[in-house]
Structure 1
Amino acid sequence: MKDFKLRDFILITIGILLVAFSLEYFYIPARIAAGGVTGIAIILNSFIPALPVGAIILVLNLILFATAFLTIGGGFGAKTIYASYGLSLIMWAMEAVLKPQALTDDLFINAAVGTIIVAIGMAMVFNSGASTGGTDILAKILNRYFHLDIGKSLLIVDFIVGLGGIMTFGIRIGLYAMLCIVVNGTLIDRLIDGLNTSKELMVISRNEEEIIRFIIKDLDRSCTVLTGYGGYTGEGTSVLYVVLNWREYIRLREYIREIDPRAFISVNDVHEVLGEGFKDLR
């Protein structure tokens, strides 16, 4: 629990709220069983309408966590437990109080908009070091006993859920669910990359001392000074290497533009930075 920071709590909460909203107003009314425990719950709800999807998810997660604890041990982490049970409880409350209805009857819009919102929410949850449990647990069990990669295990589980959707709701809705499964996984990866993107800079300037002071005092960062020489002139030069977030990069770029318009700056996108000032290496 000591690693469960307030920022993580807020981001996970917003993430599961987005996922719950998308499921209740897009996926469930359209009967899109796009993999995972939610997909299983949507299928079961079609056979037992009296049971809310949120309640089914809660029961399934309880069973899965108990099974995983007995077969592969604990170690889920407070974040994953909070995210998984938080999602099911929020959905249960929404179904009991708000009585969600479909916002549109168009199957394509339900699939497309639902997938985008789910991907944004899940990316926030995953980026905070949590997951919503569910099929992640099944994948870990398959990995433990059948030595399958986690990624392949997840794909197998979601594919089986998708087949269940085809057999329950028909080929048209089932194929939309399959498409949502594929697009959702890809979109989550892209969103996580975007959330973690930093800027890697190499700067060559005659005013390197002023730039170093600006980086340290104004941006509260540090940099590495590399020694080199010009291939054309043969003169010695210093190359500043620094990694900054997007806002810091804009400030540094504007500062360099003011003091040395002839400076040379190389900029690359970095999708993950580990260490002091960024994500904890542990």
Structure 2
Amino acid sequence: MKGQDKGGIIKEYGLLTLAAIGYVISDYFFKFPNYFSFGGVTGIAVLFSGLFGGTASTYSFVMNIILLIMGFLVLGKGFGIKSVYVILLYSFGIEMVQYIFPVKEPLTNQPVLELLFSFILATVCSALVFNLNASSGGTDIIALVLKKYTNVSIGKALMITDCCVVIASFFIYGVSIGLFSLAGFLAKTCFIDTVIESMNLCKYFTIISTNPEPICDYIHEKLNHSATVYHAEGSYSHKDKTVILTVVNRNQAIKLRDFVRRIDDQSFMMITNSSEIIGKGFRGKI
């Protein structure tokens, strides 16, 4: 295994570890004490806690382990190792933390503030995990099983399940908790795509220049990217020009923009945001 590959793996699992810890903090310190039920396994755990007593942390641990075993039995090798890592780390973390830092009531008397921290943390962690092609377990495992054996629309099935959990919170915990849960569910649903897009945001450059060589050299040597070049003609001047197409990350975009301005002040640049760049050096080949 190459050193670069090892570094990439260490970085991925480091980010997955942070995501699992973030899930634990979001659920244990903000969601469970306030009985917020956004859906998924943690939402069901909160409902079970209200119906049967016991802690939501324990219910969440038990359900995740059962679903993890089901995932292994049904999906086999299709069950990714990164997902297993996140599920185990979260499940044991949420079970252990209740003995290390017992929390019997909300941390503050500001439920709106705690709701914000709960869904923002959970959303950022979900976006991070999804972006690394992993899963946090829970109802995602059920979705994978349904996808394998049925023609059920997974998105609709999960949406209906989450909606049922939110509706049930009205009957178990009352209108206030139900409304908080509904608000958190809607906010998380709307916010997660924005976070994922922000994480993947790159800059797509279209550079029209009469001096392309130093620009291409800079892209290759300093930014460690490639580019596509083709020749064009100005419609007004009829002079020969070169069009350079390349994609870089946000930090590199500033460097490239400034370099092009410095090396060719007559160049023309179009810089476009893009969150779906698939290929070598970005999110891998299809």
TM-score (norm 2): 0.90
| Structure 1 residue 21 corresponds to structure 2 residue 7 | no
Q: Which residue of 2 aligns with 1:171?
A: 175
Report deviation, 1:110.
2.0
Which structure 2 residues correspond to residues 1-282 of structure 1 after superposition, within 5 A? 5-50=9-54, 52-70=55-73, 75-100=78-103, 101-143=105-147, 147-281=151-285
Report deviation, 1:224.
0.8
Mapped to 1, the partners of 2:150 and 2:173 lie a distance apart of 31
Mapped to 2, the partners of 1:31 and 1:249 lie a distance apart of 44
1:30-73 Cα offsets, whole Å, 9 max, x none, are 110110100111111224444x3332212112222334455565
1:190-233 Cα offsets, whole Å, 9 max, x none, are 10111011110000122211111111111121111111111111
1:5-51 Cα offsets, whole Å, 9 max, x none, are 2111111111111121111221111110110100111111224444x
Question: Percent identity, aligned pairs only?
Answer: 30
- Cα separation, partners in 2 of 1:224 and 1:74, compared to 1, 3 Å: closer
Q: CA RMSD in A?
A: 2.1
Mapped to 2, the partners of 1:86 and 1:160 lie a distance apart of 27
- Cα separation, partners in 2 of 1:226 and 1:63, compared to 1, 3 Å: same
- Cα separation, partners in 2 of 1:104 and 1:112, compared to 1, 3 Å: same
- Cα separation, partners in 2 of 1:150 and 1:45, compared to 1, 3 Å: same
Contact 2:67/2:141, CA 8 A, preserved across alignment? yes
Contact 1:55/1:89, CA 8 A, preserved across alignment? no
Contact 1:25/1:103, CA 8 A, preserved across alignment? yes
Contact 1:68/1:74, CA 8 A, preserved across alignment? no
* AA aligned opposite 1:164: A
Contact 1:230/1:236, CA 8 A, preserved across alignment? yes
- Cα separation, partners in 2 of 1:168 and 1:146, compared to 1, 3 Å: farther
- Cα separation, partners in 2 of 1:255 and 1:272, compared to 1, 3 Å: same
1:151-179 Cα offsets, whole Å, 9 max, x none, are 11110111121122122111221122122
* AA aligned opposite 1:127: N
Deviation above 6 Å: which 4+ runs of structure 1? none
SS in 2 for 1:5: helix
Mapped to 1, the partners of 2:192 and 2:158 lie a distance apart of 14
Contact 2:210/2:240, CA 8 A, preserved across alignment? no
Report deviation, 1:182.
2.0
* AA aligned opposite 1:85: L
Mapped to 1, the partners of 2:95 and 2:66 lie a distance apart of 17
Structure 1 gaps of 5+ residues are none
Contact 2:72/2:79, CA 8 A, preserved across alignment? no
* AA aligned opposite 2:162: D
Mapped to 2, the partners of 1:138 and 1:175 lie a distance apart of 27
TM-score (norm 1): 0.92
Mapped to 1, the partners of 2:53 and 2:93 lie a distance apart of 19
